[in-house]
């Protein structure tokens, strides 16, 4: 079993130092634990004298694409590292080259299409994290958005819960998730944190994350990883070849010695699955390119209709929130009749399909106003 741990918190809450202390407890050999630093200015070096024996250091610079994280993981794993701290994974989401950057620069017309490719690319990075043979501790930045609440009969904006700056579903892939509270204090209790029952005793040992907790995690597993670095490099190379598709993996396999094939044999189903997924993704991308090259009116009309449909419904919804009279006024007026849906019939088909929903919203708005 490999641990995938996430520590998130606001600035100066103790994420990096706590992650390094945990890593030092999990791996006593400083040559087999590493910090991958994305924060700039090589700030991750600041703790080297505060961790017994220190740690290896690597930095990742922009662009922070999911693919560059995967490349770093492959190199670090092949070097024989057992425990890796990544500070931070948030850059794959918010920084230059990250998901939000990709969405902002996308050429697709509607929002769903803009998000599709970046999410798929991020998904590949997540699968690589899950398939790694290292224990990985992810540090994530956090934010505390304002939320609206009614206090003494008046609506007020107050600070909401602290949430990690990362893809929301990443939480489900974590073994343990810790919310850093400040000065190294933390909680793994839900809903802020996450921890499976058998491991709660490990983190209940104190309020501050320590090396001792890392030692207890490894003891719970039954001991440290004893595989040879050359085997780990072989497995990383095999995974990288599989990412290139079935043909690339077959070429890689044909060049292996009998001993290397024997070592990889228990994992061949996994590599075959990775290669199959890569083949499917390549075919999908090729089909997308063919679709883009199509000059017939059908594709363009569909795209225009989808965009116009979103606009029409948004306007109708705004009207409905003001009551049934405003909704009917929109429907009969020039805004409803002249929507860029091609024809009045197209508009009526679109809105009529959701008319009951709009009508219910309008009626509720009038009741609340009354």
Residues 6+ apart with CB under 8 A from 242: 248, 249, 271, 272, 274, 275, 278
Rounded CA separation 191/65 (Å): 29
Q: Where are the domains positioned within the chain?
A: 4-221, 229-293, 297-369
- Identify whether the C-beta of residue 320 lies closer than 8 Å to the C-beta of residue 327: yes
Residues 6+ apart with CB under 8 A from 191: none
- What is the SS3 assignment for 354? coil
The pLDDT score that the predictor gives to residue 310 is: 61
Q: Which residues pair with 56 in a beta bridge?
A: 34
- Identify whether the C-beta of residue 8 lies closer than 8 Å to the C-beta of residue 15: yes
- The architecture (CATH level 2) of 4-221 comes to 3-Layer(aba) Sandwich (3.40)
Rounded CA separation 130/277 (Å): 16
Decide: residue 47, CB within 10 A, 0-12 exposed, 13-18 middle, 19+ buried: middle
Rounded CA separation 114/109 (Å): 7
Q: Residue 68 phi/psi, 5° resolution?
A: -70, -35
The pLDDT score that the predictor gives to residue 227 is: 56
Rounded CA separation 194/196 (Å): 7
Q: What is the pLDDT along the chain (370 residues), one digit of tens a residue?
A: 889 999 999 988 999 999 999 999 999 999 999 999 998 888 889 999 999 999 999 999 989 999 999 999 999 988 889 999 999 899 999 999 999 999 998 888 788 888 888 998 999 899 999 988 899 999 999 998 888 888 888 888 888 888 888 888 888 999 999 999 988 899 999 888 999 988 888 888 678 999 999 999 998 887 655 456 677 788 888 888 898 899 999 999 999 998 889 888 888 888 888 888 888 888 887 887 777 666 544 555 544 544 555 667 777 778 888 888 888 887 777 665 554 444 555 555 555 556 667 777 887 777 767 6
Comparing CA positions, the residue from 190, 200, 182 lying closest to residue 18 is 182
How do residues 117-131 score in pLDDT, each as one tens digit? 899 899 989 999 998
Rounded CA separation 156/315 (Å): 27
> How would you label 194-210 residue by residue, b for 16+ Cβ within 10 Å and e otherwise?
bbeeebeebbeeeeebb
The pLDDT score that the predictor gives to residue 213 is: 93
Whether the pTM exceeds 0.85: the reply is no
Rounded CA separation 354/338 (Å): 19
Which structure tokens are listed for 196?
Answer: 């499976």
State the number of CA atoms in the 13 A half-sphere of 110 facing the CB: 13
| Alpha-carbon distances of 176 from 27, 71, 198, 266, rounded to whole Å | 18, 24, 11, 28
The pLDDT score that the predictor gives to residue 27 is: 93
Neighbours of 142 (CB within 10 A): 20
């Amino acid at each position: 079993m490999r641990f995938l741990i996430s520590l998130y918190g606001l600035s100066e809450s103790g994420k990096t130092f706590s992650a390094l202390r945990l890593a030092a407890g999990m791996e006593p050999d400083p040559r087999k634990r590493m910090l991958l630093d994305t924060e700039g200015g090589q700030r991750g070096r600041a703790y080297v004298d505060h961790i017994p024996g220190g740690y290896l250091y690597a930095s990742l610079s922009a662009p922070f694409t999911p693919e560059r994280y995967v490349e770093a993981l492959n190199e670090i794993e092949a070097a024989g590292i057992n425990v890796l701290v990544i500070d931070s994974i948030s850059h794959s989401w918010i920084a230059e080259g990250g998901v939000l950057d990709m969405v902002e620069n996308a050429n697709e017309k509607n929002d769903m299409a803009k998000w599709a490719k970046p999410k798929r690319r991020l998904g590949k990075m997540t699968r690589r994290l899950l398939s790694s043979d290292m224990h990985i501790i992810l540090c994530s930045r956090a934010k505390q958005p304002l939320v609206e609440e009614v206090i003494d009969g008046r609506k007020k904006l107050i600070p909401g819960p602290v949430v990690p700056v990362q893809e929301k579903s990443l939480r489900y892939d974590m073994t343990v998730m810790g919310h850093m509270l400040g000065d190294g204090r933390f909680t793994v209790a839900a809903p802020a944190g996450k921890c499976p029952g058998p491991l709660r005793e490990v983190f209940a040992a104190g309020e501050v994350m320590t090396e001792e907790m890392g030692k207890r995690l490894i003891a719970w597993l039954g001991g440290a990883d004893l595989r040879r670095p050359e085997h780990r490099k072989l497995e990383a190379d095999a995974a990288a070849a599989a990412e290139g598709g079935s043909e690339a993996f077959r070429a890689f396999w044909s060049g292996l010695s009998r001993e290397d094939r024997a070592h990889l044999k228990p994992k061949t189903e996994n590599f075959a699955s990775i290669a199959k997924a890569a083949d499917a993704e390549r075919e999908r991308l090729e089909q997308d390119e063919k679709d883009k090259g199509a000059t017939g009116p059908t594709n363009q009309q569909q795209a225009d209709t989808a965009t116009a449909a979103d606009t029409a419904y948004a306007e109708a919804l705004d009207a409905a929130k003001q009551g049934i009279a405003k909704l009917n006024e929109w429907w009969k007026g020039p805004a409803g009749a002249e929507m860029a849906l091609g024809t009045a019939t197209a508009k009526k088909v679109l809105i009529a399909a959701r008319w009951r929903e709009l009508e219910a919203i309008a009626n509720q708005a009038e009741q609340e106003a009354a």
